[in-house]
Amino acid sequence: MSLYGGRRKAPIHEKSMGSYELFAWRDAMSMAEWIDEEFGVAHARKVYEQFDSSSVLKFERENQDLLANFIQKTESQRPAFLRRVAKKANEDTRILFVTLALIGVLRAKEVMEIRDSFRTALAPGRGNRVTTAGIYVFTEKIRDIFTYGWPWEPFDAMGIYCGEDEEGEENEERA
């Protein structure tokens, strides 16, 4: 409360990133829909899952700037951007690229959610030990989001059938 009886303005680091999280989620769903329209989601999933994890990691590291640029593009700009940067790439490589972009958007959303949970630990003002312990827990949460499995979540949310999951069960039965 201020002297005038109103609420104090929250410092910028204490503000929620909820609107950004919602945007990222909607963007992920849009990207998932585009993957389905462009490649067929069951086909895209099968192609993506054929890449071994070391190839996926290497590809992401080598193309992180292009992936970030792709993520930054509007929905209408993405197809042309992909055609331009992947002129010589085969369909499998294009599927790998757009799937990693989708995973990147979902990862960014999760980082924002984690950041909101730890917003006071990530800013000056608390004790050294409390801050260090809080940031340690933050880093553990961040480490957990670096997975490269098929990004089921937006497809499931939209009811887009992805085919069978790795245990041979229909993905609709997982929900």
pLDDT value for 37: 96
CB distance 101 to 71 below 8 Å: yes
User: If the chain, 175 residues long, is cut into consecutive pieces of 10 residues, what is the mean pLDDT of each piece?
Assistant: 63 81 97 96 97 97 98 96 95 98 98 90 86 92 93 93 60 39
Specify if 174 maps to a domain.
no
pLDDT value for 165: 53
Residue span of the structural domain in which 92 resides: 18-156
pLDDT value for 120: 83
Specify if 12 maps to a domain.
no
pLDDT value for 169: 47
Residues facing 164 on adjacent strands: 170
Counted domains in the chain: 1
pLDDT value for 138: 93
Specify if 95 maps to a domain.
yes
Quote the CA–CA distance of 165 and 144 in Å, as a whole number. 21
Specify if 175 maps to a domain.
no
Quote the CA–CA distance of 24 and 22 in Å, as a whole number. 5
Quote the CA–CA distance of 59 and 76 in Å, as a whole number. 25
Specify if 99 maps to a domain.
yes
Specify if 11 maps to a domain.
no
Quote the CA–CA distance of 171 and 149 in Å, as a whole number. 14
Backbone angles phi, psi at 76, to 5 degrees: -75, -25
Specify if 79 maps to a domain.
yes
pLDDT value for 84: 95
Specify if 61 maps to a domain.
yes
Quote the CA–CA distance of 175 and 164 in Å, as a whole number. 13
Residues facing 170 on adjacent strands: 164
| Joined tokens for residue 108 | 């960014």
Quote the CA–CA distance of 63 and 57 in Å, as a whole number. 10
